[in-house]
Amino acid sequence: MIATEPNFEKAFSERLSRLHQPGQHGLANLFRILNHLCVITVEKAQASIQDNMVPMPREMVPIESCLNRVLAEPLLADRDLPPFNRSTFDGFAIASQEAVNGGKTFSIEATAFAGEAEMHLQNSKACIEIMTGAPVPRGTDCVIKIEDTDTDGAVVQLKDGVIPKPGLGIHPQGSDAQANHELLAPGCRMTAKEMAIAASIGKSELLVTKDPCISIVTTGDELVDIATHPLPHQIRRSNDLSLLLALRSAGYQQVERFHLSDDPEETEAFVADALSELDILVLAGGVSKGKKDYLPKALENAGVHKAFQWVSQRPGKPLWFGVSDVSPLRTRVFALPGNPVSCFTCLHRYVIPALNLSSGLNREYVFQALLKKPFRFAPPLTLFLPATLSIDETARSWATPLPFNTSGDFVSVAGTDGFLELPAQQTEFEKGTALPFHPWSV
């Protein structure tokens, strides 16, 4: 069922009673009223999408293939980290009590190298030369830097002012993490630093969330390939490329893009095939009310249930979302407005958060930023306002609005860092107002 505003019947009756013009004008007004009643808020659109997302399956994957995947298991330390008391620099391991008792000269008993087993100091009045990363020998409790000593290769003399004390120059066993301590929780994205942790505990395979299969589709005979010299009435395809790269930058790699000509049979065949193979179908335009917008009918014929169309927001009011009731994957379909700014904004506001939810990602990328200058927006809509971001000397984030001319003005938006979300219930926004900020990239 299409989501509508509360008390539909009452609202419809009130607005219908205001119709005074008979005939065609009255009918046009009626259609405008019906259209308005089907518009939902940003919050309801988000809730509808979240309610229809399901967790992606999990799979075991070799660690080399886990970059940007979402972890689906806890990673526990298999032993203490570090697993032994290790020297933090090149120097000499001594028993600090000997220095406290007045000793400043130590004979070199042996040399400890990284990768060798722990040694044992035989004479407390001697020392062991030690390399960075080597196990600290038993019988010693501190490491003196080479530059804090004078040595002839056989004897070490501590320089004046050097005060040895227990623990100096030692990275203690288990000080980073003890055995069985949780190092990484499920829901984190496996970037290079997380992969290093997994490797350090011997995880050659990881349980991760399945990477969703996503296709991006553009339609229209007016769109031509990037390398094509367009005719005056044609434009180059750019929406699908920007969406693909944004999705891959967000961590989703199984993304392809397709273009459909204005042909109903081709559209029907593509939709049917896509729903049998895809987790997510993203449409860039083609679902409005134009005579060559064949996608709505194709989706309906393929068994896609429309959850909503039309959201009280700018840009992106024609946003459409639905779920396939017949495909084995229950493919989620996002139909984004065709204008570039609307398309790119809706991807970041709805599609990527939905994918993050389905993948079990536990990190929230939206944060609060302060409005750098006053702003006024009168219509009762949620406004997604492009802005540049700056950090002041107190580490506060300030967002400077950079309004677009139209929803096709992707050139000016390219100079911004993300967009502010201005609530529909407010008109005047003073400098310093804290608002949600959605970055274009993370």
Q: Which of 312, 341, 359 is the last residue of a domain?
A: 359
Does 228 lie in the same domain as 318? yes
Does 134 lie in the same domain as 76? no
**Tell me, what CATH number does 408's domain have?**
2.40.340.10
pLDDT of 332 over the 80 cut: yes
Among 245-249, 282-286, 317-321, which is the least confidently predicted range?
A: 282-286
Does 260 lie in the same domain as 323? yes
In this predicted structure, what is the pLDDT of residue 411? Answer: 78
**Phi and psi angles of residue 256, each rounded to the nearest 5 degrees, phi first:** -125, 160
Q: Is residue 45 part of a domain?
A: no
Q: Is residue 228 part of a domain?
A: yes
Report pLDDT digits (tens) over 226-277: 888 888 888 888 889 999 999 999 999 999 999 988 888 999 999 999 998 9
Does 323 lie in the same domain as 296? yes
Does 166 lie in the same domain as 31? no
Q: Is residue 48 part of a domain?
A: no
Contacts 24+ apart (CB under 8 A), 390-397: 396/370, 397/367, 397/368, 397/369, 397/370, 397/437
In this predicted structure, what is the pLDDT of residue 37? Answer: 60
Among 24-33, 356-365, 393-402, 403-412, which is the least confidently predicted range?
A: 24-33
Q: Cα–chain-centroid distance for residue 294?
A: 33
In this predicted structure, what is the pLDDT of residue 36? Answer: 52
In this predicted structure, what is the pLDDT of residue 297? Answer: 87
- b/e 117-139 (16+ beta carbons within 10 angstroms → b): eebebeeeebbbbbeebbbbbeb
**Tell me, what CATH number does 183's domain have?**
3.90.105.10
Question: What average pLDDT does this structure show over 10-17?
Answer: 49
Q: Is residue 132 part of a domain?
A: yes
Structural domain count, the chain: 5
Q: Is residue 50 part of a domain?
A: no
How many residues are there in the chain? 442
Cα separations (Å) of 44 from 39, 242, 248?
A: 10, 27, 27
pTM for the full model?
Answer: 0.84
pLDDT of 189 over the 90 cut: yes
In this predicted structure, what is the pLDDT of residue 202? Answer: 96
Does 165 lie in the same domain as 99? yes
pLDDT of 66 over the 80 cut: yes
Does 96 lie in the same domain as 165? yes
Q: Which of 359, 379, 403 is the last residue of a domain?
A: 359
Which class for 83: exposed (0-12), middle (13-18), buried (19 or more C-beta within 10 A)?
middle
pLDDT of 308 over the 90 cut: yes
pLDDT of 407 over the 90 cut: no
Among 175-179, 196-200, 291-295, which is the least confidently predicted range?
A: 291-295
Average model confidence (pLDDT) for the chain? 90
Does 251 lie in the same domain as 223? yes
In this predicted structure, what is the pLDDT of residue 4? Answer: 43
In this predicted structure, what is the pLDDT of residue 154? Answer: 95
**Tell me, what CATH number does 151's domain have?**
2.170.190.11
In this predicted structure, what is the pLDDT of residue 23? Answer: 52
Distance CA 407, CA 423 (A): 19
* Higher per-residue confidence, 411 vs 270: 270
**Tell me, what CATH number does 235's domain have?**
3.40.980.10
Order of strands, edge to edge, in the sheet holding 304-309? 255-260, 214-219, 280-284, 332-336, 320-324, 304-309
Does 333 lie in the same domain as 245? yes
In this predicted structure, what is the pLDDT of residue 16? Answer: 46
Does 264 lie in the same domain as 313? yes
- Give the confidence band of 223 by pLDDT, cuts at 50, 70, 90: confident
Range of the domain at 160: 86-171
Question: What average pLDDT does this structure show over 400-405?
Answer: 86
Q: Cα–chain-centroid distance for residue 404?
A: 25
Does 389 lie in the same domain as 340? no
Amino acid at position 260, single letter? L
Question: In this structure, what is the dihedral angle of CA atoms 369, 373, 374, 377, given to the nearest 10 degrees?
Answer: -70
Does 292 lie in the same domain as 337? yes
Q: Is residue 352 part of a domain?
A: yes
Q: Is residue 421 part of a domain?
A: yes
pLDDT of 409 over the 90 cut: no
In this predicted structure, what is the pLDDT of residue 32? Answer: 52
Tell me, letter by letter, the H, E, C secondary structure of the chain.
CCCCCCCHHHHHHHHHCCCCCCHHHHHHHHHHHHHHHCCECHHHHHHHHHHHCCCCCEEEEEHHHCCCCEECCCEECCCCECCCCEECCCEEEECHHHHHCCCCEEEEEEEECCCCCCCECCCCCEEEEECCCCECCECCCEEEEHHHEEECCCEEEECCCCCCCCCCCEECCCCCECCCCEEECCCCECCHHHHHHHHHCCCCEEEEECCCCEEEEEECCCEECCCCCCCCCCEECCHHHHHHHHHHHCCCCCEEEEEECCCHHHHHHHHHHHHCCCCEEEEECCCCCCCCCCHHHHHHHCCEEEEEECECEECCCCCEEEEECCCCCCCEEEEECCCHHHHHHHHHHHHHHHHHHHHCCCCCCCEEEEECCCEECCCCCEEEEEEEEEECCCCCEEEEECCCCCCCCHHHHCCCCEEEEECCCCCEECCCCEEEEEECCC
Distance CA 350, CA 391 (A): 26
Amino acid at position 436, single letter? P
Q: Is residue 69 part of a domain?
A: yes
